[in-house]
Chains A and B, each alone.
Chain A
Amino acid sequence: MKVYNISILTNSAPSKLICAEQDLSSFGFFQRGSVQEFINFFSTTAAERTQVGERSKIEQQSYVGYVYSNPNGLAGVVVTDAEYPSRVAFSIINKVLDDFTLKYKKSDWENLDPKKRLDFPELKTYLADFQDPHKADPFMKVQQELDETKVILHKTMDSLLQRGEKLDDLVTKSDMLSSQSKMFYKTSKKTNSCCYLMHIDLFNSVFNR
């Protein structure tokens, strides 16, 4: 599950690439140039063709491209492999577009020279982070954490049950102990009494001495 490219473009007719980050490390060195060209071309065409407010998913060969066109005039394109879950890709686009809108006003990128790019270093960090879809998608993050919590809870339940067993053991043992101590007390009380049996005991003890 890899993300090959995240890019932001304008969604008006001659779509301009505002900024893009790519991770083509999985391709061979000589392939990278062509792959990059292809991705850029794809991004621009997809951004132009997509209607405002529309999401679309385009599959081709081994790549899958996700496009979302913002009503503000931006369009986000994410190119991944086929395994990457589509919802996460769209959430990446949302996040990137939101951050970009926070950072740059419309006037900054509206009349951008097609050759220039706007600086957006967070994109690089995002690309590196979002190779793992669990980090990208808040749903998946929460789900993961919940699953971990569930596992921990199951373990806790097990240990609790074990504790229960041990406590039951302790109960029985303490029961036995209390009955034995009671017997002990009774016998010692008996030996203290001044009756015939006790005399026997006396002589017994003296004799044994």
Chain B
Amino acid sequence: MASDRTKEFQATVESILNRKTVIEQQHLLQNQTSPRTQRSEFANAASTIGKEINNTVTKLQRLTQLAKRRTMFDDNPTEINDLIQVVKQDINRINQRIDYLQMSSRNKNKNSRKNDEDNAQALEHSKNVIVSLQSKLANTSNDFKNVLEIRTQNMREQKSRRDQYGVSNLSTFTSPDLDLLKNNPLPLYQTAMAAMNYPVSPTPSSLSSPLVSSSNIPNTNITSTTPNNSNITNNIVNPNSSNNNNNNNSNINNTNLNTNLDFNSGLNRLSTPSYASAYNGNIPMYQPLDNNNTTPNQKDSFVSISMDEGSLNDSLGLGSIIGGEQQQLLANPVHTEYLESRSQAIDSIESTIAELGQIYQHFAQILAGQRETVQRIDDNIADVEMNVEGAQTQLMKYYNNISNNRWLIIKALGIVLIFFLIFVMFL
């Protein structure tokens, strides 16, 4: 039925056009008023933050999936470590953005004091948005922490399982270092440990992000009352606590902060995918693990999480060394024997070299002492030379004297002889 419906069409087009102009007018209105544009900027920023949070959530879900896998094999620690690192960075970044957003919104609201009612509402709206973003981020970071704890538990179980399969397999990797840490005062490993200990301390400070800078803003939800070592996780966990509450909880916060710090520094340690550095990074962390197992040290508040950190480090380091495919080989006793013998050979070589070093030092010491002796001999001989030369000159003088005196004596004797002759002649 081809009826002529052009008029209808035109009418609809006109109506659409009208609608469009209305919308355009609205747009124009919005663009004219500046606080509205600012708010739309704010909205844009908030929406990007929300999107990033969503991305992080999906990554975290993948991480949870990976961490929950309980198989001993088919474990790709590199991917897990990478994911952990990426998620951590995302959380950091999102936190920074939220801070920045908060600061900027506050500044704008301070600068522009147009309509009080309007501003109050805008303030409240922006505050609400920020609070919701923060709470979302807090939830994600909580989940992240849970995932990491699950992962540490899994790692520990895996380690115990590996221990069951082959007693000595772990010792090939861990006992050299343990022995060296505890018993052997070998200079090589001591210096290596000293070198390793240095990176430990700066990392916590590196984790204190611009949260510290935002602590100046009053009545904010993120900042804690401890400006020294603020921690992302902890701060986001308490998004709604006011400053009053923080004063009461400050102690708990402190310990929580510190444990989270160690946690995060441990995570930092793990971030390197390369086997060697992960392995090396495990060396200083090994001591806290053993100390916590046997004796309580002064970091009692750190006990719970630093144990995790130690085992996390240890097991992840082991995981990264052993890798997926070789885990089953460790069940092979010949393989372990081979590896053990290799490590023993290397140990003996190392100790021999150390002994040689000691012998050389001893040698140098004795030689230095002997140099002194030689100098003394030299001085004595110089003295002797001096004395002998002096004596020689004296003797020469004496000799000259004597030879001169002889002439005198001869003369005197001659005179005496003459007298004698005169006496004899006259008598």
With A143-B349, A170-B377 given, is the CB distance from A90 to B338 under 8 Å?
yes
In terms of DSSP, what is the predominant structure of the interface of chain B? helix
Q: Once bound together, how far apart are the Cα atoms of A86 and B333, in whole Å?
A: 13
A165-193 at interface with B (beta carbon < 8 Å): 167-168, 170-171, 174-175, 177-178, 181-182, 184-185, 187-189, 191-192
Chain A residues closer than 8 Å to B297, beta-carbon distance: none
Chain A residues closer than 8 Å to B337, beta-carbon distance: 57, 86
Distance from B45 Cβ to chain A, minimum over Cβ atoms (Å): 51
B394-410: CB near A (< 8 Å → 1, else 0) gives: 11011001100110010
Chain B residues closer than 8 Å to A164, beta-carbon distance: 366, 369-370, 373
Q: A157 near B: Cβ within 8 Å?
A: yes
Q: A13 near B: Cβ within 8 Å?
A: no
Q: A107 near B: Cβ within 8 Å?
A: no
Q: B62 near A: Cβ within 8 Å?
A: no
Q: A202 near B: Cβ within 8 Å?
A: yes
Instruction: Count B interface residues, CB 8 Å.
Output: 48
Chain A residues closer than 8 Å to B345, beta-carbon distance: 87, 137, 139-140, 143
Chain A residues closer than 8 Å to B359, beta-carbon distance: 150, 153-154, 157
**Are A56 and B332 closer than 8 Å at their CB atoms?**
yes
Q: A33 near B: Cβ within 8 Å?
A: no
Which of these, A55, A147, A181, contacts B352 with CB under 8 Å? A147
Q: Once bound together, how far apart are the Cα atoms of A185 and B335, in whole Å?
A: 83
Chain B residues closer than 8 Å to A189, beta-carbon distance: 390-391, 394
Which of these, B335, B384, B387, B398, contacts A192 with CB under 8 Å? B398
Distance from B13 Cβ to chain A, minimum over Cβ atoms (Å): 71
Q: B161 near A: Cβ within 8 Å?
A: no
Distance from A168 Cβ to chain B, minimum over Cβ atoms (Å): 7
Q: B326 near A: Cβ within 8 Å?
A: yes
**Are A174 and B370 closer than 8 Å at their CB atoms?**
no
**Are A150 and B352 closer than 8 Å at their CB atoms?**
yes
**Are B390 and A185 closer than 8 Å at their CB atoms?**
yes
**Are A171 and B377 closer than 8 Å at their CB atoms?**
yes
Chain A residues closer than 8 Å to B388, beta-carbon distance: 181, 184-185
**Are B380 and A171 closer than 8 Å at their CB atoms?**
yes
Chain B residues closer than 8 Å to A160, beta-carbon distance: 363, 366-367, 370
Q: Once bound together, how far apart are the Cα atoms of A157 and B405, in whole Å?
A: 61
Taking Cβ atoms with an 8 Å cutoff, the residues of B that contact A are: 325-326, 329, 332, 334-335, 337-338, 341-342, 345-346, 348-349, 352-353, 355-356, 359-360, 362-363, 366-367, 369-370, 373-374, 376-377, 380-381, 383-384, 387-388, 390-392, 394-395, 397-398, 401-402, 405-406, 409
Taking Cβ atoms with an 8 Å cutoff, the residues of A that contact B are: 53-57, 85-87, 90, 137, 139-140, 142-143, 146-147, 149-150, 153-154, 156-157, 160-161, 163-164, 167-168, 170-171, 174-175, 177-178, 181-182, 184-185, 187-189, 191-192, 202, 205-206
